[in-house]
Structure 1
């Protein structure tokens, strides 16, 4: 049975998509079949981490929501794009990563924002994707904030990863999302602190956040110069396998696997 994991943040700019992509890579490296759906339709971006040129892609999540294709037809096999620093594929036999991207075409973004879509179609798509691709894990990269799509993603999730930065505005918004998740009775909740300066005491930061929210902190992810340089050009998990960021991603996988 597929385990559904939503990654969410109350505000944009937390590095949510980067965390999602690296988690997917880590799960695939352990031999799992992993699907990712980019439901951040207003500002999609996770495709860049897998070096996907959306200008050459015929079907996206948008096409599925308009009833033009099956969601499995919009799923791209990006397994071969999980590479090391030498460009060598890293996923072992049996492991797979599939990505359902959202369109980056201005007209298609504007259309879906204007016409909206039925969130029940999105729910049906998740189920069809899990069954059609025989996924072990489905990762849903959500749109920041709270809207109908976000509530659906949270409600159907086995695990919710709430990404926050060590910032007072993120703290306040995260409290709101946590309250919603508890009311929706999500079975497993974790906080992930991202973009923590290397000068911080990570253990102290983790303890303070746990004390504030009474929610387990799966990891504190560092912000460093080399991570900024890599940016969205690839997956840190395989490009720098001994990095502190990579070790933190692995600790999150240990918690959710």
Structure 2
């Protein structure tokens, strides 16, 4: 390879931070030349004002400068033409029509809903930390904040207010935080604005757009932070993703356990499979060694037991395990307030260890593919 070839190869390997693919594969590299130790590199961005522009330019500069024999680098930055953007979106869709559901029954992406019977049980905090813990295991993770009226995922992940998905024609690229691709209605509202007077059709359309218009790329796991209860969004997602798996979050308190059971039963009625229960705000040890069970005990085990029994029609029998018991933790709360997930900020905290163990159990829990068509192509 000539020196110019080596520079082009190094630059082509730079990863677009939003699309998570090499810019060479995305046809973003233009003319590359080398003269007297100076590399002249041309690249094009997807849109004017691309939020990742500075990072891409710096990564390209660093990649070219890393090639032995290069003493200086000049980067020329342009923007794709409309035809080039259309070609890019077609490549990203990989032959799928626009606005088609990419997470259907034949998708190899595991879709996991995190639900609860009532609010205030820490469901979103668990979901955000679980997503980050799964990404730490090397999985490609997406997260949809479907709690439209009570969205909190952007703040929990430290996504700055005002951050929006990047639009490439009719595709939306979700922001990435801690290696988790994330979308939330909160990204489309002004700071402090609330979602009011939204009913079934609008809620259904919003959730559907999150699943069809947002380009997550190839994912191993898509987590969906559900709103509490069994309202319009739960019904819509039951219709859109009847094959999804469900995690039910409760607290040890019997009152919370009772409504959590109903949440799991409703999910089962849509065809979704409850794969486990998470007990949050469980007993925790004080510095003097005493154990404080502020919200009682046994709620998680009770939910798991109830969901393991057949329903009134004799259906739904099957073991539903208690996958995790996450203790009350000041660090977990502090991390949520600061946008610094506890599994990263304080991995030795008891709550962080419980969530990381939960991620490990989910990552190594196989999903049955019997009877499903696999997306294999003949050469």
TM-score, structure 1 normalization: 0.77
Is 1:184 aligned to 2:290, yes or no? no
What is the number of equivalent residue pairs in this alignment? 231
220-229 or 162-171, larger mean C-alpha shift: 220-229
Q: Give runs of aligned pairs for residues 106-145 of structure 1, distance below 5 A.
A: 109-110=195-196, 113=198, 116-117=201-202, 119=204, 122-123=207-208, 125-127=210-212, 129=214, 132-145=216-229
Shift of 1:187: 3.2
CA contact (8 A) 1:18 1:232 kept: no
Looking at structure 2, the residues matched to 230 and 26 of structure 1 have their Cα atoms a distance apart, in angstroms, of 14
Q: CA deviation at 1:123?
A: 3.5
- What do the CA deviations read for 1:126-172 (whole angstroms, capped 9, x no partner)? 2554x652111111111111112113334525321111111222112
Q: d(CA) in 1 for partners of 2:203 and 2:335?
A: 37
1:237 aligned onto 2:343? yes
1:11 to 118, 138, 159: 118
1:42 Cα deviation after fit: 0.8
Pairing 1:210–2:304 present: yes
Give the structure 1 partner of residue 281 of structure 2: 195
Of the three residues 39, 45, 51, the one matched with 2:158 is: 51
Where structure 1 has 5 or more consecutive residues not aligned to the other structure, the ranges are 80-95
Q: Note if 1:100 corresponds to 2:183.
A: yes
The structure with more helix, counted as a fraction of residues:
1
What is the CA distance between 1:208 and its match in structure 2?
A: 4.6
- For the Cα contact (< 8 Å) 1:8–1:163, is it kept in 2? yes
Q: Is the contact between residue 40 and residue 142 of structure 1 (CA under 8 Å) also seen in structure 2?
A: yes
After TM superposition, give the deviation of residue 109 of structure 1 in Å: 1.4
The answer for unaligned runs of 5 or more in structure 2 is 1-107, 285-291, 309-319, 364-379
1:195-230 deviation line (CA, Å, top 9, x unaligned): 112134x99665454334433111000003343444
Contact 2:142 2:216 in 1 (8 A): no
Q: 1:77 aligns with which of 173, 176, 181?
A: 176
Aligned to 1:83: none
In structure 2, what is the Cα distance between the partners aligned to 1:210 and 1:154? 21
2:227 is the alignment partner of 1:227: no
Distance 2:235 2:200 in 1: 19
**RMSD between aligned alpha carbons?**
3.1
Cα distance in 2 for residues equivalent to 1:209 and 1:191: 7
Partner Cα distance (1:108, 1:163) in 2: 25
What's the secondary structure of 1:135's corresponding residue?
coil
Larger radius of gyration: 2
Query: Could you list the per-position Cα deviations for residues 226-256 of structure 1 after superposition, in whole angstroms to 9, with x for gaps in the alignment?
Result: 4344443220101111222122112222332
User: How many Å separate the matches in 1 of 2:194 and 2:171?
Assistant: 17
